[in-house]
Structure 1
Amino acid sequence: MAHTRYKFEVHAENGVSEESGVTDRFESIALKTNVAAPSQVESVTQIGSTEMSLSISWSPPRKPNGVILEYRVQYYPLRDGPTQVKFAKVDGLVTQATVEHLDMGEEYVLQIQARTIAGYGLPSQPVTMRTDANGSQAPMTGDQPVMIAAIAAAGIFVLLVFVLVVIFVLYRRRNRKPPSDMDKLEYSNGEVRLPGFVAPRVKTYIDPHTYEDPQHAVLEFAKELEPSCLTIEQVIGGGEFGDVCKGRLKMGKGQYLDVAIKTLKAGSNDKMKGDFLTEASIMGQFTDPNVIKLQGVITKSRPVMIVTEYMENGSLDTFLRKHDGRFQVPQLVGMIRGVASGMRYLAEMNYVHRDLAARNVLVNSSLVCKVSDFGLSRVLEDDPDAAYTTRGGKIPVRWTAPEAIAYRKFTSASDVWSYGVLVWEVMSYGERPYWNWSNQDVIKSVEAGYRLPPPMDCPKAIYQLMSDCWQKERNARPKFTAIVASLDKLIRNPMVLRVLAQPRPMHHQSTSSDLYSSVPEWLDSLSLGRYTENFLKAGFTNLDCVAKITLRELQSIGVTMIGHQKKIMNSVQLLRAQASPSAASLRTPSPIPNGQPLPHIHSPGVGGSLHGTPNLHPHPHHNARHMAHALPV
């Protein structure tokens, strides 16, 4: 069952366990399953009606499968059918609503859906309700003529007052200039509402840069916290503006919340302070389970601070590298689904992230992924993945769509491209996109049609999703709403994830035999330099010896982690493929315009486990598979 805590016990038994009389030996672990979409809402009833509204109530789902975030009421006139469906949203703590602005005496069909972090559940059974018609008169009683006369007199008085007001308004209008179109606009909370337009279902993002003073934007979108309610416990990192700390925020009597605190270092100039507060103004507009939550700011004392929820597992890329090979594929799919859900919310608010990457996604203790780092639109000067564009400014080339690099066209579609690269990072456990290629090689190869190959053990459906995100035409890329729906289907049908991606049919255009010059250099390229001494002591002093290593030998020299074993053996297979005659025959001159050869590439393993000793003399087709991973289309 979803969102349920279970206790698992693993017992050890052998042939004499029953005879030994020893107390049963076991280890136990308590785990909680992930949330899921809630079950169907039941018992929808009408509790009132007027000529233009209906009031309804309902019972919460029997299986909420998590915290109910909101309910969605969908309704349409019975005579029009479901072609004219409208929606209204209600907070998850409320189980009743009033639907207004309906037609008088009309029958409406209503359904309710509940939503958790995993999405919407099934809609309730449709119920039909009617608004009140213009009621007929009842017979008059003795006192009613007197009441009617009094009401008529009051009505005449009100009418006279109304006529006088109209005359006064017309006189004023004749003696002033006609209003401009701008005078007709309605401003509310920083938003402009055009006459005759209904407010959107999701609030629109407001760019804090439109405010002359960043302090004004912060006051509108962020809560000012009392410094006495905040306790800083330890420094956990450093950011562009100052230290990042872990602390506790007092929420009430005896209630505390773990938080992350960004501080603005002393001596920062006005521009740095403005940029710092702008990030808080952006975060303060977002309320979604997969977007980092702003708790508040401290601006009236020094240092200036931004306080957000605390994410125990840190950034997604670092977390995956630390736990290389330890997750099942459905868990990885759950992570990328969370990111897609957060980006769907941001896209609905018309916010473009511009720097979506695994390093800018945070992970909490429940493995929930949340989009963060809204300061970009900046990239640090010393970031090796950034490159200048022709119009100035730096962008993260490896994650950026071609049109954004060439023309500075940043849209939700360019965020979808970046999301595809993020999915590749997740499925390869934090591998660097395009490995050690230069930024110029990445730009030229992508423009020529090259796309990142599927990581090892990557499901075919997930790689297809990546490929869809990397369509050259931005209008051909899927929307985040469609991506979330696609991932939901995969999560509900995990058997589909067992079909692994195979190398695409392609023409091998180039690569040189870019073998490493030493074993330490090779291990460093795999981020496994810790095993250098183990290899050298065991006699594996050159790459020819390494290419002959077996899994049993690898285990004997001290490489015991399954993820590290897979990563090393995958690279060993590639070394053999590059050294084999069949691989050599596949090489042709480099397509890179500057003549530089493409670098050696390895693909780390994803999920799964090793069973027995792998085939150490692979079929030639197996070599070709690894070559396909190393060569551009």
Structure 2
Amino acid sequence: FPLHWDAGTQCVTKGDHRKPKPGELAYNKGDILTIVDRSTVLSWSYRQHNTTGEEGLINSSNVRERQALRVHPSLSLMPWFHGKISGPEAVCKMQPAEDGLFLVRESIRHPGDYVLCVSVSGEVIHYRVIYQDNKLTIDKTQYFYNLIDMIEFYSKNKGSIATTLLKPKQKHGMKSAEVELSKTGWLLDITKLQLGENIGEGEFGAVYKGEYMGQKVAVKTIKCDVTAQAFLQETTVMTKLQHKNLVRLLGVIPQKGLHIVTELMTKGNLVNFLRTRGRSLVQFHTLQRQTYRRKYVCEGMEYLENKKLVHRDLAARNVLISDDNMAKVSDFGLTRVDFKVSDNAKLPVKWTAPEALKKEKFSTKSDVWSYGVLLWEIFSYGRQPYPKMSLSEVKERVEGGYRMEAPVDCPPSVYSLMRICWEIEPRRRPTFHKLREKLEQEMGSQNPVLRSKHGDGINRSAVPQKSEDGGQR
């Protein structure tokens, strides 16, 4: 039994086990299991099925550890896309000829269009792919949102082309994201995914409630193939992260664009959660929960800090609330392993540290600045930071030393935390580790109710049992 597989390790099954003996766990090939405990027999361990929630024994030789994907620019959702090459170049790349071999290139003759090159009977046929009304078509009968959809369709249907697409001719140096996702255990089956109601629209796509093999999930869908490729970065980062205060990635489906499947956080994002409740609904235990929410977010960010990852978009809108009121950091779309980028135009100005806006210097300390702004959001019940100030005003005034005043009724100790997060010199800001220690000291000095060991910090015998939605629990 691999001694480094501790409780919490995720594993992928190598085959089916549909007729378990008493105490054993049933599973199918490709299922994801989590180690709960080791058995006294070293080759066995006690595991929980990530989808069904059932627990039981499984022989450890029947599983492999679920691996993180490597962050690498060669990982591509479209390894068959060769960019701007000529027809003769495409023909050369597709030697030796093989029926069903294909690639896609940009059209040189018709800028904005593409060309699907397919090998049939020793020849290469070039099909012009017309970009029209934000859709792609070869024959003006079948239309596609993106190249990924088009290749998926013609891999299953001959349609109006000479043969179905059987084998992609990969661009030199590119790796298929689908193959790598499958190898590492992160590829999900689209036929087992059911999409439900739309719960959010963003600049890049929509988010839906859904169900995957009986488990409630959230699904981010990205139609544009270029954007989907960019979001593969987010997915790759998320495969490395396992923490109770970070939204958990369940897997990825690189079909019909890109589907990123995560655990469902039923109460939505923190900013909307705060705005819909507001001051009028605040009771003693709600204020206490604010302290725990600050700590949850801080613990999630401390984990990223230890992994040397910079989030770059920490804000209340990117903190999600679970059914049991746990706060988890989400939306790793801007997360980077490197600390310097050039997509400044996309940065959330009101949450971004001055050195990051001015010199593109991102670090854990710039995330700490954002955490200070998030604290302000929490204690102002979801108000927009720097009220009534334009983005250019915010940049100019913050650099000149301006800092937001404390929200109404904000405890002085909390405001002092905000202020140290907003030190102009990054080195003078605390680490998330130090921030967590300060929060724990603060919690320790507060009412004994807060020191209860219950999951959300509420002493059930001391506080009336009302949920934050106003109903009895």
* TM-score range for the pair, normalised by the shorter chain length: 0.5 to 0.7
Contact 1:278 1:375 in 2 (8 A): yes
Displacement of 1:273: 2.4
1-structure distance, mates of 2:300, 2:326: 11
**Partner residue of 1:438 out of 370, 390, 404:** 390
TM-score (norm 1): 0.42
**Partner residue of 1:231 out of 194, 205, 213:** 194
Could you list the per-position Cα deviations for residues 501-557 of structure 1 after superposition, in whole angstroms to 9, with x for gaps in the alignment? Answer: xxxxxxxxxxxxxxxxxxxxxxxxxxxxxxxxxxxxxxxxxxxxxxxxxxxxxxxxx
Q: Aligned ranges for residues 109-258 of structure 1 at < 5 Å?
A: 207-209=71-73, 211=75, 212-213=174-175, 215=177, 218-219=181-182, 223-250=186-213, 256-258=214-216
Displacement of 1:235: 2.0
2-structure distance, mates of 1:390, 1:244: 27
Contiguous gaps of at least 5 residues in structure 1: 1-54, 56-67, 71-90, 99-188, 192-202, 251-255, 379-388, 499-606, 608-633
1-structure distance, mates of 2:198, 2:387: 31
Counterpart residue number, 1:354: 312
Counterpart residue number, 2:60: none
Counterpart residue number, 1:310: 264
**Residues 368/391 of structure 1: CA separation in 2 closer, same or farther (3 Å cut):** closer
**Residues 210/493 of structure 1: CA separation in 2 closer, same or farther (3 Å cut):** farther
1-structure distance, mates of 2:446, 2:439: 10
2-structure distance, mates of 1:305, 1:390: 26
1-structure distance, mates of 2:319, 2:343: 28
Could you list the per-position Cα deviations for residues 197-240 of structure 1 after superposition, in whole angstroms to 9, with x for gaps in the alignment? Answer: xxxxxx9x953446454716645666111223222222222233
2-structure distance, mates of 1:353, 1:336: 17
2-structure distance, mates of 1:293, 1:359: 17
2-structure distance, mates of 1:497, 1:416: 28
Could you list the per-position Cα deviations for residues 181-210 of structure 1 after superposition, in whole angstroms to 9, with x for gaps in the alignment? Answer: xxxxxxxx9x9xxxxxxxxxxx9x953446
Contiguous gaps of at least 5 residues in structure 2: 10-34, 43-64, 76-173, 451-467, 469-473
Counterpart residue number, 1:287: 242
Counterpart residue number, 1:154: none
SS at match of 2:37: coil
Report whether the alignment pairs 1:264 with 2:222. yes
Instruction: Please tell me the residue identity of whatever aligns with 1:278.
Output: Q
Contact 2:309 2:335 in 1 (8 A): no
Counterpart residue number, 1:426: 378
Contact 1:223 1:296 in 2 (8 A): yes
Displacement of 1:302: 2.9
Counterpart residue number, 1:275: 230
2-structure distance, mates of 1:222, 1:434: 44
2-structure distance, mates of 1:320, 1:208: 38
Which structure has more relative contact order (CA 8 Å, sep 6+)? It is 2
2-structure distance, mates of 1:69, 1:453: 43
Counterpart residue number, 1:619: none
Instruction: Please tell me the residue identity of whatever aligns with 2:417.
Output: L
1-structure distance, mates of 2:311, 2:418: 18
Displacement of 1:468: 1.1
Q: Aligned ranges for residues 353-432 of structure 1 at < 5 Å?
A: 353-376=311-334, 393-432=345-384
Contact 2:70 2:236 in 1 (8 A): no
Q: Aligned ranges for residues 522-601 of structure 1 at < 5 Å?
A: none
Report whether the alignment pairs 1:339 with 2:293. no
SS at match of 1:93: strand
**Residues 242/401 of structure 1: CA separation in 2 closer, same or farther (3 Å cut):** closer
**Residues 461/391 of structure 1: CA separation in 2 closer, same or farther (3 Å cut):** same
Contact 2:228 2:257 in 1 (8 A): no
2-structure distance, mates of 1:419, 1:472: 14
SS at match of 2:387: coil
Contact 1:317 1:425 in 2 (8 A): yes
Instruction: Please tell me the residue identity of whatever aligns with 1:349.
Output: K
Report whether the alignment pairs 1:491 with 2:443. yes
Counterpart residue number, 1:533: none
1-structure distance, mates of 2:320, 2:343: 31
Equivalent pairs, count:
292
**Residues 397/264 of structure 1: CA separation in 2 closer, same or farther (3 Å cut):** closer
- What is the Cα-based RMSD across aligned positions, in Å? 3.4
Instruction: Please tell me the residue identity of whatever aligns with 1:229.
Output: K
Contact 2:302 2:432 in 1 (8 A): yes
**Residues 221/432 of structure 1: CA separation in 2 closer, same or farther (3 Å cut):** farther
Displacement of 1:309: 0.4
Could you list the per-position Cα deviations for residues 476-507 of structure 1 after superposition, in whole angstroms to 9, with x for gaps in the alignment? Answer: 11111111122122223224999xxxxxxxxx
Displacement of 1:285: 1.4
**Residues 459/439 of structure 1: CA separation in 2 closer, same or farther (3 Å cut):** same
Counterpart residue number, 2:37: 93
Displacement of 1:391: 7.9
2-structure distance, mates of 1:459, 1:390: 38
